[in-house]
Amino acid sequence: MSTTSTRTASDKKNGSVLRIRGVPNERQRQFFASRCRYTAYGGARGGGKSWALRRKLIGLCLKYPGISCLLVRRSLAELKSNHLTAILRELDGFVTYSESERCIFFPNKSRINFGYCSSRRDALRYQGQEYDVIAIDEATQLSEYHFSVFKACLRGVNGFPKRIYLTCNPGGIGHAWVKRLFIDRLFRDGERAEDYLFIPARVYDNRALTESFPEYVKQLESLPDRLRQAWLEGRWDVFEGQFFSEFDTSEQVCEPSAIPRGCKHFIAFDYGFDMLAAILFAVAPDGTVYAEAEYGAPNLTLSEAARRVASLSSGLAEYAVASPDLWNRRQDSGRSGFEIMQGVEGMPPMTSADDRRVAGWRVVREHLSETASPKLLISRRCPELIRCMSALLCDPDRPEDAANEPHAVTHFPEALRYGLMSRCLPPREPKKRDPFAFAFERPSALKDYLN
């Protein structure tokens, strides 16, 4: 288990010796031993992540003379209070610190730079910089764009290892991308599974904390249900700030084979050049709404997007509902997006969505409730919709609305909202034809007499 670490060695003019007390717990040992390009360590609160992150950087600086490291967090104040002060206290007299450069220099020419990144403007400061090792503390507080910027900084013509170490807890703007890469392990083109490793952290692993401050565990155990599950148990499917807290994959996700025959079909899609998110819906005779299949892709023109929607429909969809802005005329062509897309062969008849946000989200919640009638079920053929439903955040200024960030997880829930707001009626059972019924409409008096 980790213990509070102090420097005990004496420094000599002709060489410095540094001993830092502290015994890592088993999870911390796994973190120290990782050689993966990207290693994430986290989950619950109180697992000793910050201690391990500092020790890892100090160890690398001592092992590789001249190595360049970066320790980054969302704000400078958090960085100083959580790391910089602790490192300077532990290494007092052994290292030198430059306030203007925000950098610690080791006697062997290794260094740890300290940075912060809370916005895209902050991220621009790191473009063109090079680091051998980058440590991102509380990575779920940063966006995937920030992570991409730091990945681009991981380079250098030398023999030093090139790695990024992350600590993380469930929740925050970066919850979705951290969960995708390290928990769900859903990789995109160019991402290699062998580059990513997740090491879970639990407060029960950290005996130094549980023995010296047992009240902390009791505090975590007494939290409200969702906070307790995230902060104590380290669950990534529930977290504070989650918009659809009622979404449960064990209840609302089904196998494709569970969708009955005889359904009515329609499509709903959210289009932007950054992403087309389309969902094929099936409405069963009992009124149950199924999200049957999905398609998502970025950088599609209107006509290309329409062809993908038509392919998803396969002639099944009776109509396609889309955001109203597609009916606005484009300045470049004088034609609306609706005209361009509707002209593509196979495109179902398009209708403008009811895009009221709060009212629409309430309809989605109604379909997700335990007593929902009709009920919403999502097929496993819709992995992106399932992922985004779990990752969607509340708008901090308007709790009844979903946040627009991270933008990558908003597209499929928007398409779902459009679809459910279109209120497609379930198919009707065909009436049995009476062979003795008259083919013409009977006058009311005659109808009454015959009845």
Residues 6+ apart with CB under 8 A from 424: 264, 266, 281, 283, 289, 318
How confident is the model at residue 450, as a pLDDT? 43
Euclidean distance between CA atoms 273 and 299, whole angstroms: 5
How confident is the model at residue 441, as a pLDDT? 46
Please indicate whether residue 222 or residue 336 has the higher confidence score (pLDDT): 336
pLDDT higher than threshold 80 for residue 230: no
How confident is the model at residue 240, as a pLDDT? 75
Q: What is the mean pLDDT of residues 234-258?
A: 88
Contacts of residues 146-149 at CB distance under 8 Å and 24 or more positions apart, as own/partner, are 146/117, 146/174, 147/174, 147/177, 149/117, 149/123
How confident is the model at residue 239, as a pLDDT? 80
pTM for the structure as a whole: 0.76
Q: Between the ranges 37-51, 143-157, 230-244, where is the mean pLDDT highest? A: 143-157
Per-residue pLDDT band at 451 (split at 50, 70, 90): very low
Quote the DSSP letter at residue 169. Answer: -
**Do 399 and 361 touch, CB atoms closer than 8 A?**
no
Nearest to 56 by CA among 75, 29, 74: 29
How confident is the model at residue 197, as a pLDDT? 97
List pLDDT tens digits, range 416-443: 999 999 976 677 665 555 555 544 444 4
List pLDDT tens digits, range 67-97: 999 999 999 899 999 899 999 998 988 999 9
List pLDDT tens digits, range 9-31: 334 434 556 677 778 888 999 99
Q: What is the mean pLDDT of residues 26-42?
A: 94
Token pair of 423, please?
């209120």
pLDDT higher than threshold 90 for residue 295: yes
What is the distance of C-alpha 78 from the center of its chain?
Answer: 23
Euclidean distance between CA atoms 230 and 395, whole angstroms: 20
List pLDDT tens digits, range 186-219: 999 999 999 999 999 887 777 766 667 677 777 7
**Do 231 and 74 touch, CB atoms closer than 8 A?**
no
Identify the structural domains of the chain with CATH numbers, from first to last: 19-231 (3.40.50.300), 249-421 (3.30.420.280)
Q: What is the mean pLDDT of the chain?
A: 87
What is the distance of C-alpha 407 from the center of its chain?
Answer: 10
